[in-house]
């Protein structure tokens, strides 16, 4: 199954021919269309630019695989079951790592019970989608056992190759995504980096014109980014059933601990195209974050886990999160992050309160202020 995600400044793109809902074919990848045609998608529509509140308690039915220990939750209130940890391909596939390492990462994830793999048409100019599809074909994994999500917006350089036409208006986006699903090119669609108001408008349009509404929002969520997932999305879940698929649980590596003494040469922040990340790390706010991470380390040690595992488990303890997308550049890193599943049962209310007392950034809803 494939889920497509559209971005607003990242939005939904409509394409002619076999390439629709998939990234633009690059000049050095002549078999892109053939590889992509074999996979259905769940589309997620994106827009450019936490912990739970008791008032918005969400209980997604959760099951655990006996062989791998992986946990599965519904994607929002849809019937789609996704692993609570997924594998993302941003930066890595077609860029930072070789195809061989990408295959190793996908194999580790799949054998660990991961069924959700996330990509986007813009990742490595379309190569990430191709590599992911090629690996699935090579491994011979049952397509019905996988959920593939892709994102739409920045397809190509031409003006007609970017955006979410039919033409960047929410009603037209909903119509386009309904058409995509009705044609069998995707099974579900969702949004990424949309505001709560925009998601609600899309839902209202779908209900008004008997079309298909989004089932999830893909949002950034980690120890230092909490407001949207912990306050806004729970309300949307209860009102219209939109679930949360979160990304960057380690804040682009900031929470990994690797930046405690500067920026290592082999890190993502050392890459020229990630100067913004380096600036964030060396800023005053970045130094404060590193100090908070040092204060969190004793908690991780007490629980018998690493800081990254604690951070991922902290995201998972939010029952309103359907799945947390992991980004890894090495097999060792992926195996470590997947180990967060074993830490999840240790995330008691006492531990969560300890973490909150260190972070001091817990967001509050309007109901919290009234009470």
Model-level pTM greater than 0.85? no
Cα angle 333-129-162, degrees, rounded to a multiple of 5 = 120
Residue ranges per domain, the chain? 2-8+67-359
CA atoms lying within 13 Å on the CB side of residue 61? 6
> d(Cα 275, Cα 281) in Å, to the nearest integer?
10
Task: Indicate the SS3 state at residue 200.
Answer: helix
pLDDT of the chain, 371 residues: tens digit per residue: 656 665 544 333 333 333 333 333 333 333 433 333 333 346 665 554 333 333 344 445 688 888 889 999 999 999 999 999 999 998 899 888 899 999 999 999 999 999 999 999 888 888 999 999 999 999 999 989 999 999 876 655 666 555 555 445 788 899 999 999 999 999 999 999 999 999 999 999 999 999 999 999 999 999 999 999 999 999 999 999 999 999 999 999 999 888 887 788 777 787 777 888 989 998 999 999 999 999 999 999 999 999 999 999 999 999 889 999 999 989 999 999 999 999 999 999 999 999 999 999 999 876 554 44
Number of Cβ within a 10 Å radius of residue 15: 18
Residue 63, burial from CB neighbour count under 10 angstroms (0-12, 13-18, 19+): exposed
- What fold is seen in the domain 2-8+67-359? TIM Barrel (3.20.20)
Q: Which neighbouring-strand residues pair with 333?
A: none
What residues are labeled active site? 123
Q: How far is residue 115 from each of residues 77, 86, 314, measured CA to CA in Å?
A: 18, 7, 21
């Amino acid at each position: 199954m494939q889920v497509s995600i559209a971005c607003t400044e990242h939005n939904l793109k409509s394409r002619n021919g076999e390439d629709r809902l998939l990234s633009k074919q690059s000049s050095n990848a002549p078999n892109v269309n053939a590889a992509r045609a074999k996979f259905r998608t769940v589309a997620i529509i994106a827009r450019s630019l936490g912990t739970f509140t008791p008032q918005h308690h969400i209980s997604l039915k959760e099951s655990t695989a006996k062989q791998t220990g992986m946990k599965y939750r519904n994607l929002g209130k849809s019937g789609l079951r996704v692993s609570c940890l997924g594998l993302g391909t941003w930066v890595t596939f077609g860029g930072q790592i070789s195809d061989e390492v990408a295959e190793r990462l996908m194999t580790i994830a799949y054998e660990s019970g991961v069924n959700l793999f996330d990509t986007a048409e813009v990742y490595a100019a379309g190569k990430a989608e191709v590599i992911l599809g090629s690996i699935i074909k090579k491994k011979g994994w049952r397509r019905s056992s996988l959920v593939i999500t892709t994102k739409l917006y920045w397809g190509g350089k031409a003006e007609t190759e970017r955006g979410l036409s039919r033409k960047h208006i929410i009603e037209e986006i909903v119509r386009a995504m309904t058409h995509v699903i009705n044609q069998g090119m995707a099974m579900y669609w969702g949004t990424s980096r949309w505001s709560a108001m925009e998601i609600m408008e899309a839902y209202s349009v779908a209900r008004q014109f008997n079309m298909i509404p989004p089932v999830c929002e893909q949002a950034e969520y980690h120890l230092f980014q909490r407001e949207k997932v912990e306050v806004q999305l729970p309300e949307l879940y209860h009102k219209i059933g939109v679930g949360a698929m979160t990304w960057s649980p380690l804040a682009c590596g900031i929470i990994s601990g690797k930046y405690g003494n500067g920026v290592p040469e082999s890190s993502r922040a050392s890459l020229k195209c990630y100067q913004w990340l380096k600036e964030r790390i060396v800023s005053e706010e970045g130094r404060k974050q590193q100090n908070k991470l040092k204060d969190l380390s004793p908690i991780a040690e007490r629980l018998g886990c690493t800081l990254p595992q604690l951070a991922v488990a902290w995201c998972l303890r939010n029952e309103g999160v359907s799945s947390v997308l992991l980004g890894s550049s090495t097999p060792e890193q992926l195996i470590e992050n997947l180990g967060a599943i074993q830490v999840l049962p240790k995330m008691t209310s006492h531990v969560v309160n300890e973490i909150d007392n260190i972070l001091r950034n817990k967001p509050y809803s309007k109901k919290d202020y009234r009470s």
